[in-house]
Structure 1
Amino acid sequence: MKLSLPKLPQFELPTELRVPQGTLPFDPLLLISTLALMLTGLVMISSASMDVAAENFGGAFFFIFRHGFFVLLAIAVAVFVVRIPIHIWERFSVWLLVIGFLLLVVVLIPGIGREVNGSRRWIGLGGFNLQASEVAKVCMVMFISGYLVRRLHEVRSTWAGVVKPAIPLAFYLFVLYLEPDYGSIVVITATVMGMIFLGGMRLLQLVTVVSIVTTLVGALAVTQEYRLKRLQNFLDPWADPYGAGYQLSQAQIAFGRGEWFGAGLGNSIQKLFYLPEAHTDFVYSVLAEELGLFGAMIVVLLYVVLIARMFLIGRQAEKQQRFFMGYISYGFAFILAGQAMINIGVNVGALPTKGLTLPLMSYGGSSLVICAAMIAIVQRVDLELKRERLGVQPKVTRWSRFWARWSGGALNV
């Protein structure tokens, strides 16, 4: 007598995401590294936040449930964003610049913007706080990508082409300075400079711009007393280990306790009210303490894979003469690389504290959702490039008709 197993329902991609058999509609390494970082972040936040949540919020699972919801929300947003054709982003790139700037301004309005630890960076949306600077980064990348496509020859041949993007960038940086959000200033500035350099900026122009920007950033760093103290504490956190250098010294203790293979998952001591913001800015220190240098390096490797795949997809877009796709891939890779390097640098004591989250891992809805959206857009770039190489014309669906009617464009989805 033969037993027949019931047939499981087959999962089918939406029509507009399908590609010929034998070809994946997504980049597997990009997807795997993204999910690995998100799940690792969920595990480490669960470990780092239970005692703090039990003490301050009456339940050990407070942050776990909230971040679990943010993970599901980020996946849902990514599934939606990956279905948006890239030409839609290009068509509205200038409007996105305006939207990003307006969000940054709205944050400064009393009663709308929420102030936490002396910084006004969030817009309260019920149970969800939107960090405007996270959205602004995406908007700036979209605008600069569109600008490079329209003015590529000018960027490669004249100073005017290089200087013009500095005007909208200056408005963004000024509002970020008022919040203040020094970390986002550094990331956005570096991203724009990196994108323009890959667009064809000459080496002499790059050196000149970097010198000017470094001088301005250095001046901003010493204009306010708390930033100057951060720099002093970074140089020698052990000069005041129970005062201004407390965070950095406790983070370094966490790394020291972790040694090669860690104290074991859940066995961190520093998370027990010694290390402030253990589940947000310093989740990497808790990870290093519990999983050791080996676990910390695995996370670094995952970021290397993630960012390398984004750059390679951008390079492939340039080869296929899809420059807007290439530049947005480069821009998002710069953002994720910059934030990861700064956050990890702060945790190991190589950089002064900045208040930037670790992409895809730190607690926080805005950062997680926006990072997932950026990666989804790059996955969409990869999909459209594959279709072009294979000569595939996607079928017309209700979804494609909706985007064509809404954008006033053709059914090129």
Structure 2
Amino acid sequence: MGLKTWEQRLSTEHHVVDGWLLCSAIALLTIGWIMVTSASTEIATSQTGNAYYYSIRHGIYVLIAASAAFITMRVPMTWWRRNGPTLLLIAAILLAAVLIVGREVNGSRRWISLGPINLQTSEVAKLCLVVYLSGYIERHLTRVRHTWWGFLAPLCLTFGLGALLIMEPDYGATVVLLSTTMGVLLLAGASLWRFVLLSGGVIALGAMMAVAEPYRMQRITSFLDPWANQYGSGYQLTQALIAFGRGGWEGLGLGNSVQKLFYLPEAHTDFVFSVLAEELGMAGAVGVVALFGVLIYRAFVVGRTAETSKRLFSAYVCYGVGLIFAAQAFVNIAVNVGFLPTKGLTLPLLSYGGSSLIISGIMVGLLLRVDGETRARKRIAEDVKRRNQRPVKRAPREASQ
């Protein structure tokens, strides 16, 4: 069966949706909207006079993200494969443009103002890099597995994007991009010893960057002992830890957080997980972590199924998306509980933020599209096989005269 025939059949096939993947994504979106509403009422009242200002905006972003996921489900994976280099170029242009025309907030230029929406270019870069990287690995799989240049070429591109991110600065997004690229290369079969050697070099480079600037060292030292400077560099982390302590096992109840009352900065964005733990307790926090676990696990299952079906591009896209969700969720939650230094990294599908929500919605749509195409191809192949095996009915012999 030719490529056009496959695409025509796939476009008309009914795509079965992965229930676990879809339900976990919807659950995280719903919990995120509820928690953003709870965490933002006081600050919204003080800033705008409308307690539900951020809740309404977040609700609009949720609807846009859901629409983006639905639209993405209708776009064939062949379109993403074909336009991977163009998407990577767009990401590089946006990362360079934000340094020139970007809006500065708290000393960082990470957003481009587009009227009522602020575009966070690092979120776009994550999606574009995964798409390009997946196409590159599919085209040069043998080189990636057996040569240094095939292994280093995509990493050089990632380092280039990372350099632009560091100039913003946005170290959290840099870590996510780099870890995702290295993870996808490892899953594609790149040599483990090359991976270990390069990881050592990256860690050494990160350590050098950390000690190069005093404020970075201050962040690290405050992370190791935040109570030593409770009202200075360790303020955010100590307030987050207090939120966890208040919540205990059962929580204070939805809407009853104390830390959101101007104690915990960025309560509805970077530290929404702390407010969730305070109001819903350990049970609620563990439940959210479990939902992320389901989402990430299903992303890898969908990718593995596509890989066994010889659909390598789609498989690596799923692996990349799963790694982005895993890395970003891990970093955000680890920051909230004091395992990592403070980073300006949102929690996917939960934190307030239009760019993060919309790109996350597109990523979920990609996972559902890959799953639907894989299932549809399997059904079509089985249908063709049954037709080929069907015995041909012979015309009855004419009765002898």
TM-score w.r.t. the length of structure 1 is: 0.89
Deviation readout 1:291-343 (Å, 9 max, x if unpaired) = 00010000000000000000000001110000000000000100010000000
Equivalences, count: 375
Contiguous gaps of at least 5 residues in structure 2: 1-8, 384-401
State which of 13, 36, 51 in structure 2 corresponds to 1:45. 36
Match of 1:411 in 2: none
* C-alpha distance in structure 2 between counterparts of 1:277 and 1:320, whole Å: 44
| SS of structure 2 residue aligned to 1:124 | strand
Give matches, 1:268-347, under 5 Å: 268-347=257-336
Shift of 1:60: 0.5
State which of 83, 94, 97 in structure 1 corresponds to 2:88. 97
Does the Cα contact within 8 Å between 1:18 and 1:25 map onto a contact in 2? no
Does the Cα contact within 8 Å between 2:10 and 2:376 map onto a contact in 1? no
> Is 1:174 aligned to residue 163 of structure 2?
yes
Does the Cα contact within 8 Å between 1:16 and 1:83 map onto a contact in 2? no
Does the Cα contact within 8 Å between 1:17 and 1:383 map onto a contact in 2? no
Deviation readout 1:103-162 (Å, 9 max, x if unpaired) = 1001011xx211111110001011100000000011111111111001100111111211
Contiguous gaps of at least 5 residues in structure 1: 1-14, 395-413
* C-alpha distance in structure 1 between counterparts of 2:145 and 2:231, whole Å: 52
Shift of 1:392: 6.6
AA paired with 1:69?
A: I
Match of 2:51 in 1: 60
* C-alpha distance in structure 2 between counterparts of 1:342 and 1:170, whole Å: 20
Give matches, 1:119-198, under 5 Å: 119-198=108-187
Shift of 1:19: 4.2
* C-alpha distance in structure 1 between counterparts of 2:190 and 2:205, whole Å: 20
State which of 200, 203, 218 in structure 1 corresponds to 2:192. 203
Give the helix-richer structure, 1 or 2: 2
Does the Cα contact within 8 Å between 2:332 and 2:346 map onto a contact in 1? yes
Does the Cα contact within 8 Å between 2:159 and 2:178 map onto a contact in 1? no
* C-alpha distance in structure 1 between counterparts of 2:10 and 2:99, whole Å: 41
AA paired with 1:197?
A: L
> Is 1:214 aligned to residue 195 of structure 2?
no
| Alpha carbons of structure 1 residues 127 and 383: separation in structure 2 relative to 1, 3 Å | same
Match of 1:106 in 2: 97
Give matches, 1:211-250, under 5 Å: 211-250=200-239
State which of 72, 81, 86 in structure 2 corresponds to 1:81. 72
| SS of structure 1 residue aligned to 2:112 | strand
Same amino acid, percent of matched pairs: 51
Match of 1:403 in 2: none
More deviation in 155-164 or 368-377?
155-164
Higher Rg: 2
* C-alpha distance in structure 2 between counterparts of 1:203 and 1:80, whole Å: 38
> Is 1:352 aligned to residue 338 of structure 2?
no
Over aligned residues, Cα RMSD in angstroms? 1.5
Deviation readout 1:239-281 (Å, 9 max, x if unpaired) = 0111111100000000001010101111110000100000000
